A and B are shown apart, each in its own frame.
Chain A
Amino acid sequence: MTGVVIVGGGPAAHRLAALLARYGHPGGVSVVGAEPRPPYNRALLGSVLDGTLDADRLTLPALPAAVRQLTGVRVTAVDRARRAIRLDDGRELPYGVLVLATGARPRTPRVPGLQTQPGRLADGVRAVRTAADCRPLSEGPVVVVGGGIRGVETAWALSGTGQEVALVHPAGQLMERHLDMVAAALPAEWLAARGVALHLGRRAAEYTPGKVVLDDGQVLAAGTVLLCTGTVAESALARASGLEVRGGVVVDDLLRTGDPHIHAIGDCAEHAGTTGTTVLRAWEQAETLARNLTGRERPYAPERRVLRPRTPGRDMVVLPPAAPVRPDDTDATVSLLDRARGHHARLVLRGGRIHEGTVIGSPSAVAEVSRLYLRDEPVPADLLALLTGADGTYAGDGTPPDDTVVCHCNNVTRKALKDAWHRGAHDEAALARATRATTGCGGCTAAVRSLCTALEGATP
Chain B
Amino acid sequence: MTTRTLVVAGHGMVGHRLAGEILENDREGRWRVVVLGEEPRPAYDRVALSSLLGGATPDDLTLAGPGAPDDGRLLLRPGTTMTGADRPTRTVTCHDGTEIGYDALVLATGSRPFVPPAPGHDLPGCFVYRTVEDIAAIRAAAVPGREAVVVGGGLLGLEAANGLRLLGMRPHVVERAPWLMAQQIDEGGGRVLARAIERLGVGVHCSSALHAVGAGTDGRAGRVELADGTVLDAALVVFAAGVRPRDELAAPLGLERGERGGFLVDQWCRTADEHIWAIGECAAVRGRCHGLVAPGFRMAETVARQLTGGAPEPFTGADTSAKLKLLGVEVAGFGDAHARSPGAIEYVRDDRRAGTYAKVVLAADGRTLLGGVLAGDTRAYPALRALTARELPASPDELLAGAAGEA
Contact = CB atoms under 8 A, between A and B. Distances in A.
Interface of A: 327-341, 381-385, 387-388, 390, 392, 394-401, 404-406, 408-411, 414, 436, 439-441, 443-444, 446-447
Interface residues of B, number: 45
Given A332-B350, A334-B349, A382-B395, 5 more contacts: A331-B353, A384-B347, A388-B366, A398-B393, A440-B297
B393 A336 contact: no
B64 interface: yes
A409 B352 CA distance: 32
B293 A440 contact: yes
Contacts of A336: 345-348
B396 interface: yes
B47 interface: yes
Interface in B241-296: 293-294
A279 B145 CA distance: 63
A404 B382 contact: no
Contacts of A338: 345-346, 364, 366
Given A331-B353, A444-B382, A394 B346 contact: no
Contacts of A395: 367, 390-393
B136 interface: no
Given A337-B346, A394-B395, A439-B64, A408 B383 contact: no
Given A384-B347, A388-B366, A394 B391 contact: yes
B323 interface: yes
Contacts of B349: 332-334, 383
B321 interface: yes
Interface string B331-359: 00000000100111111111111100000
Contacts of A444: 382
B397 A388 contact: no
B347 A387 contact: yes
Given A336-B346, A439-B65, A401 B321 contact: no
Interface of B: 47, 64-65, 293-294, 297-298, 301, 319, 321, 323, 339, 342-354, 360, 364, 366-367, 381-383, 385-387, 390-398, 402
Contacts of A327: 352
A408 B397 CA distance: 24
Contacts of B391: 394-396
B353 to A, nearest CB: 5
B319 A408 contact: yes
B297 A410 contact: yes
A385 B395 contact: yes
Contacts, number: 127
Given A390-B366, A392-B395, A337 B345 contact: yes
B294 A408 contact: yes
A381 B392 contact: no
Contacts of B350: 332-335
Given A381-B395, A384-B347, A409-B294, A400 B352 contact: no
A328 B351 CA distance: 9
28 contacts: A330-B352, A334-B348, A335-B346, A336-B348, A337-B345, A337-B346, A338-B366, A383-B349, A383-B395, A385-B395, A390-B366, A390-B367, A394-B393, A394-B394, A394-B395, A395-B390, A395-B393, A396-B391, A398-B402, A399-B393, A400-B383, A408-B294, A408-B319, A409-B293, A410-B297, A411-B297, A439-B65, A447-B383
Contacts of B386: 400, 404-406, 414, 447
What are the 9 tightest A-B residue pairs by CB atom distance, in nearest-first order? A395-B391, A382-B395, A404-B386, A332-B351, A340-B343, A396-B393, A398-B393, A337-B346, A338-B345
A441 B49 CA distance: 12
A340 B393 contact: no
Contacts of B392: 394-395
Given A405-B386, A444-B382, A384 B393 contact: no
A382 B398 contact: yes
Contacts of A331: 351, 353
Nearest to A413: B386
A393 to B, nearest CB: 9
A411 B319 CA distance: 10
A420 to B, nearest CB: 15
Contact of A340 (B323, B364, B367): B364
Contacts of B354: 332
A66 B339 CA distance: 65
A328 B395 contact: no
A194 B390 CA distance: 38
A398 B387 CA distance: 10
Most buried by B among A336, A382, A392, A408: A408
B159 to A, nearest CB: 12
A438 to B, nearest CB: 11
B390 A335 contact: no
A332 B192 CA distance: 14
Nearest to B359: A335
B401 to A, nearest CB: 8
A441 B394 contact: no
A125 B294 CA distance: 66
A328 B397 contact: no
Contacts of A446: 382
Nearest to B352: A328
A410 B65 CA distance: 12
A332 B398 CA distance: 15
B53 to A, nearest CB: 18
A375 B239 CA distance: 56
Nearest to A393: B367
Contacts of A341: 364
B390 A401 contact: yes
B283 to A, nearest CB: 17
